[in-house]
Amino acid sequence: MTDVDTFARPLRDLRISVTDRCNFRCTYCMPKEIFDRDYEFLAREMLLSFEEIARVTKVFAGLGVRKVRLTGGEPLLRANLEELIALLRDIEGIEDLTLTSNGSLLRRKAQVLAEAGLDRVSVSLDSLDDAVFASMNDVDYPVGKVLDGIDAAAEAGLTPVKVNVVVKRGVNDHEVVAMAEHFKGTGHIVRFIEFMDVGHTNGWRLDDVVPAAEVVKAIHARHPLEPVTSGYKGEVAERYRYQDGSGEIGVIASVTRPFCGDCTRARISADGQLYTCLFATSGHDLRGMLRDGASDEEVAAFLGSTWAKRDDRYSEIRSTDTVGLPRVEMSYIGG
């Protein structure tokens, strides 16, 4: 078990980006103008192998990590991801193994992922309207196929499925209630995410952020809600349930109600850099250590001492000063 960081936060969650590539070009994440044909994605040998990821995860588990989430980029673009799931499933201490996906490959992969030991999935879907969704994913991807991916996940037992909606002012904020209604009573949990200033390519402006409180108010006016007290401390979503018992929604208010005080997450980029915050400006080279022959004990000591020094609380100190700073992209570090 590792010690806590400088703000007394333990290490509990690990998010692992398995690829920086994606088949979508969401305007808030991988805008086309930057992530174009000339963009240099990571070469294969730069990516951590499945064995390297499993080894590092085992060391993290020894330090207190209980939840692992695979992300990217689009994690399902990484070939044979189920082999990694099976390796992670075998690690003692990992109680919750999940993945975040844009849903496009779930119909093909959900069953095999579930069989390999994946517990649940979160699927991103920003709109129920094809035109709005296409303007956000920027590759003309239709809503129906993501909904089908969500169905496939549910059929494979990867439940409850969480549906992530990034809300952008003037783009999809008019659809908040319709999104909630679509999934009300299905067992799936919609989570509305405030548009964040990750990376430096998505043209973030505070005016584009729809405060979570506004989302909750709009839904509550139509379908009365009540707060649910969080099951565990590092929970990023604030949860609400319908008073009529037909399910729950969540909001992730990283801009208007930051939750750094409870942030127990470490992140590993696809090329094996360790980040202690989504908004970190630089990482720590884990891949180098692994490939230079470090022992598990040395890796553990390095992770433990890096965590002990951790003082990140970007969202709490977000200001005009910090907004201009260089940061890594979400598709690289993983959302």
The contact set with ligand SAM (CB under 6 A) reads 22, 28-29, 71-72, 74, 100-102, 124, 164, 166, 193, 195-196, 198, 202, 330-331, 335
Query: For 45-112, where are the E strands, in sequence order?
Result: 67-71, 96-101
**DSSP assignment string, 5-24:** -TTS----EEEEE--S--S-
Q: With the C-alpha atoms ordered 114, 50, 104, 25, is the resulting torsion angle positive or negative?
A: positive
Q: Peptide bond preceding 31: is omega within 30 degrees of 0, i.e. cis?
A: no
Give residues 111-150 in contact with ligand SF4 (rule: CB under 6 A).
124
Write down the least CB distance from residue 214 to ligand SF4, Å.
21
Pick the closer one to ligand SF4 by CB: 107 or 184. Answer: 107
**DSSP assignment string, 251-267:** EE-TTTS--GGG--EEE
Q: Which residues pair with 273 in a beta bridge?
A: 285
165 binds ligand SF4 (CB under 6 A): no
Q: Which does 260 bind (CB under 5 to 8 A by kind): ligand SAM, ligand SF4, none?
A: ligand SF4
Write down the least CB distance from residue 164 to ligand SAM, Å.
4
313 binds ligand SF4 (CB under 6 A): yes
The answer to whether 227 touches 240, Cβ cutoff 8 Å, is: yes
91 binds ligand SF4 (CB under 6 A): no
Write down the least CB distance from residue 256 to ligand SF4, Å.
13
What lies within 8 Å, CB to CB, of 302 at 6+ separation is 284, 286, 289, 294
277 binds ligand SF4 (CB under 6 A): yes
Q: Which does 195 bind (CB under 5 to 8 A by kind): ligand SF4, ligand SAM, none?
A: ligand SAM
Write down the least CB distance from residue 193 to ligand SAM, Å.
5
Q: Which does 198 bind (CB under 5 to 8 A by kind): ligand SF4, ligand SAM, none?
A: ligand SAM
Q: Helix or strand or coil: residue 204?
A: coil
The answer to whether 304 touches 3, Cβ cutoff 8 Å, is: yes
Q: Which residues pair with 69 in a beta bridge?
A: 15, 98
Pick the closer one to ligand SAM by CB: 57 or 100. Answer: 100
